[in-house]
Amino acid sequence: QVQLVESGGGLVQAGGSLRLSCAASGNIFSIKARNWYRQAPGKQRELVAAITNGGSTDYVDSVKGRFTISRDFAKNTVYLQMNSLKPEDTAVYYCNFKSWSEHEYWGQGTQVTVSS
């Protein structure tokens, strides 16, 4: 089992920045990928950013150049640095870990609201 606790969400004006954190505990050695998803009201949950154990990253087109995913193995934490935020980035952001056996773990979600 893996437990995930997110922090760092909040209210920010357009153009501002936030950094989300996701602290993991439990059997993290089973994890092969760490991801951030988001879900806006009335929309499906979408994958925003992903990072593998080897450090390869991928982003949804709408955040490329503005968001950066990173991980700190020593702290068992994954981050999402979000710059140049736009109102359309408003959503609940979820941390997601995927194990080698394809099991998925989810955090509780953190609200990000970007005002225009």
Q: What is the pLDDT of residues 71-88, one digit of tens each?
A: 998 999 999 999 999 999
46-67 average pLDDT score: 96
Count each helix (H run) and each strand (E run) in the chain, helices first. 0, 11
List, for residues 29-50, the tens digit of each pLDDT value. 889 999 999 999 999 999 999 9
4-25 average pLDDT score: 97
Q: How high is the mean pLDDT of the chain?
A: 96
How far apart are alpha carbons 93 and 75 in whole angstroms? Answer: 20
Identify the pLDDT of residue 29: 87
Identify the pLDDT of residue 109: 96
